[in-house]
Amino acid sequence: MYLTLVGLRKFWTRTATIVSLLIAVTLVSLEFILVGVGYRSGAAQSGLNNSTYTWLLTFPGAYDALLALVFEFVGIVGLIYVATVSGSEWGWGTLKVAAARGQSRWQYTLATFASLAILLIVGLLITFLIGLVAVTLGASIAGLPLGNPADPGVLGPALVKLIRAGIGLIALTSLGFAVAMVAKSQMAGIGTVIGYFVVSAFAPLFLPDFVKTVFKYLPFNVASDAIGLQGPPGTTTTATSAPVEPNLALLIALAWLVVCLAAAALSVERTEIAG
């Protein structure tokens, strides 16, 4: 617990923490405001149809739309952030100092990720709350009825999905943490994150169906599916693109979390720290 608190004090004051949060909040907010502006100016003819606009800007559908965007942007920014600051543990020598003071390496590694996970959850909540304001503003600009976001029948399931999104986010970002700690490099973690998204986005388009099925169980996919979000009206899926059942996806995401943290802790424990 002490090491986790030390990590919080160390990370929350870094410029990268504030900048990462601002980027995620800005991207989510702009999305809903621009959708509202697009609807008002008649942009439905150029892509989105009216039912999709309604899903994005009116409740209860807006909760799923907001969570989808929050998870996407916070997930991407969070992966890069975690890879950057965890890789700096080697570059800045803080892990070496901790080891020299006799602190357990594996405990320090897990406590470092625990402090990052707390910051990620706080960032997720802040982005979600500001996103609610952006949805309200977007609906007002579009002239659409907002609905009742405080309806217990709507708010309750949304909060459950928010909790699941938090778990998925922690599981997802453990991948960047593990790569950066094992490779002892910020750039290795960031490069792996970027490469992962490129491969996940384009490789399934050119690979056989059984390979596409495998991609469904990679960290970002199962972490997203674990939330249990519903897409816009009229969304169709194929057998290979259908999401993993949310509860199964949550279990797989947690398994990825355990594997990644074990790999990071084992690597730090066995690495010779010179100097």
Residue 165 included in any domain: yes
Structure tokens at 257: 């979390």
CA of 258: how far to CAs of 113, 177, 180, 197, 255, in Å?
12, 12, 16, 21, 5
Question: Given this model, what pLDDT does residue 10 score?
Answer: 75
Residue 275 included in any domain: no
Specify the 3-state DSSP secondary structure of 105.
helix
Exposure pattern of 151-186 as b/e (b: 16+ CB <10 Å)?
A: eeebeeebeebbebbbbbbbbbbbbbbbbbbbbbbb
Domain range for residue 88?
A: 2-270
Structural domain total, the chain: 1
Question: Given this model, what pLDDT does residue 48 score?
Answer: 54
Residue 121 included in any domain: yes
Residue 60 included in any domain: yes
Structure tokens at 174: 């453990």
Question: Which among 257, 227, 255 has a CA at the least distance from the CA of 165?
Answer: 227
Q: Which residues contact 127 (CB under 8 A, 6 or more apart)?
A: 21, 24, 25, 28, 70, 73, 74
pTM of the model: 0.86
Question: Given this model, what pLDDT does residue 196 score?
Answer: 73
Question: Given this model, what pLDDT does residue 35 score?
Answer: 87
Residue 36 included in any domain: yes
Residue 249 included in any domain: yes
**Which strand (E) or helix (H) includes residue 49?**
none
Residue 68 included in any domain: yes
Per-residue pLDDT of the chain (275 residues; tens, 9 = 90+): 676 776 677 777 778 889 989 999 999 999 999 888 888 776 545 555 577 778 888 888 899 999 999 999 998 898 888 888 887 766 666 666 666 676 777 888 888 899 999 999 999 999 999 999 999 999 998 888 888 888 888 899 999 999 999 999 999 999 888 888 887 777 777 777 777 777 766 666 676 776 667 778 888 889 989 998 887 766 655 545 678 899 999 999 999 999 999 998 888 877 765 54
Residue 35 included in any domain: yes
